[in-house]
A and B are shown apart, each in its own frame.
Chain A
């Protein structure tokens, strides 16, 4: 009986919703796409489930849909293209190409005043081509992602040499150490992730790898196949970015030796679970203390024009505590890794200059927005 129900009976009720999916999923687009599926069998309803189940977020306009595999971005392009355009500042993936540049030697002025910048971090994600993404992967695929990645990481050496801690097998002592280091990721509780099916089979095939120096870290099978993080206390973003690029290229080389590759194409850059992370998938940021500037009414505008975003120090859906903020790049797609980290470097230096001016009772200027905005 149910196969013959008309599409109009199935269009979701999005009247209470405020996310990118709800903004762009018209009844016509729904009718066109609702019977399609990717070669792996991933459907539109599955892709939008998280957005249907989570009408809106107070701090940030969420995307409201995820990809179950690489092909999602093609099969459901009628919905994803406008979402990508909205989310990535007008980027039109049908006509534009995305630049990838992991040559960290091009970064300049990447050392911050450590009286203000407490820590520096760059993260991205990488997906293993040929295996479905966290919302849709089977247990077998997820275990294969783990195997391929752990295998590659075992080949790292020098300052990148490290060890893998599987969530199912770590000892209590290891677990405590990882918690103390602020490395351990938990089973997702955010309904943004659970409604998308990313917590299935937890903690099977999930784990954390980090180098002995605890400055290069890889999460396996959390929200993406892999999340790669370079970090350290203090303001040496240059060193953080150097290590980031070096580590990433090494890991890529290792998996290629075994016949694997990362999901990437020249329109969308690196393919990740959430459309907001396409392109570079890169979030470069600092924890920075800005007690005066953060209270200035122009703070938000300054951040906007610098193409920066503020978050609480607990992560994407948290509020700031005191006057320490997590400041990072807004953009992910349409500019390269080098360009985005440079944007953060220049922007954070500007914020620190503003803070210093305010300390001396001087006035600050709102910088001009970038050309083309």
Chain B
């Protein structure tokens, strides 16, 4: 954390128009000294203005977290799926599933650490209305957490769609579980390939996913669906929080920019135990997680591999890195299966 006494003293008297203070920003980081698997940010935003009012603290954190991103840098948004090259040929014998997610915040409302019940319910209401206008491959249904039948709940659990009340202290200490399960819910299309979480860690989390390795298709659906949703929100005068410096504004500073995590569940039992595994990931600008999510360990050599970057590169750039990187790692895995060396395949730093 970059919070020096000077910065703290400078910021402690300030608050955003909605009343979020520096102590509110850092509470989760104070209460959670560190995580074994991943260096956590330790701060959250309570509203869009947090990033402005507390820039003395958040700019250095953003820079640290996003590879030196400067306060004067501009972020590029590219949701044109046709710009992605390849991505339809990841070997399904290794790549078990593909997924792209992002978050969106609705302008004019405060964020999950800070929002009131009234705001949260209004966000839910607006989301339901927007999603109800979707059609074709995007036609779907909303399941409020506080009102689904047992049968619906079981089905959502079996589909691995249901999100639970957060138990991670990273989230609970930031106040994101307040009033659970009020105004929380899950929407998904009939085909179960496009999913929206309402009022979990962000106002909206939008997820496109499917079994197998066709990341191209996943990304196409992701971009198409997102743009349709955004159109509907804009029509009702509730655009998404976005600016040309930070891109899409979300609760956690780590998700600024694209807010995009594009990834696969991939079998890499040999590569993952190779001495250079971490280095390869770093050079490919990729990140590994356990298949249970951000703060879990891997099980059985299956890893969740996704882009490490969020800010300073576009959606297309980031998914391209995943596609190219995973393709390379699967090739390495195959080599290692045959007891061949992968030394000449080690990539240069991207």
Contact = CB atoms under 8 A, between A and B. Distances in A.
A49 B119 contact: no
A9 interface: yes
Contact of A199 (B31, B119, B146): B31
Contacts of A11: 117
A204 B23 CA distance: 14
A13 B31 contact: no
Contacts of B31: 199-202
Interface residues of A, number: 24
A254 B180 CA distance: 45
A353 interface: no
A101 B101 CA distance: 63
B122 to A, nearest CB: 6
Nearest to B182: A13
Interface stretch (B66-74, B80-88, B108-116, B269-277): B108-116
B281 interface: no
Interface in A15-74: 41, 45, 49, 52-53
B153 to A, nearest CB: 15
A139 interface: yes
Nearest to A11: B117
A371 B212 CA distance: 75
B27 interface: yes
B182 A201 contact: no
Given A2-B110, A5-B119, A9-B117, A201 B179 contact: no
A138 B119 contact: no
Nearest to B18: A2
B256 interface: no
A44 to B, nearest CB: 11
B116 A53 contact: no
Main secondary structure of the interface of B (DSSP, over half): loop
Contacts of A195: 178
B178 A49 contact: yes
A45 B116 contact: yes
Contacts of B296: none
A366 interface: no
B36 interface: no
Nearest to B109: A2
Interface string B75-111: 0000000000000000000000000000000001110
A110 interface: no
B30 interface: yes
B177 interface: yes
A194 B172 contact: yes
Contacts of B18: 2
Contacts of A13: 146, 182
29 contacts: A1-B108, A1-B109, A2-B108, A2-B110, A2-B118, A2-B119, A2-B122, A5-B118, A5-B119, A6-B118, A9-B121, A9-B122, A10-B116, A11-B117, A12-B179, A12-B182, A13-B182, A45-B116, A49-B178, A49-B179, A52-B179, A53-B177, A53-B178, A53-B179, A53-B180, A195-B178, A201-B30, A201-B31, A202-B31
Interface of B: 18-19, 23, 27, 30-31, 108-110, 115-119, 121-122, 146, 172-173, 177-180, 182
Q: What 7 pairs across the A-B complex have the smallest Cβ distances?
A: A10-B118, A1-B108, A5-B118, A9-B118, A10-B117, A2-B119, A52-B179
Interface of A: 1-2, 5-7, 9-13, 41, 45, 49, 52-53, 138-139, 194-195, 199-202, 204
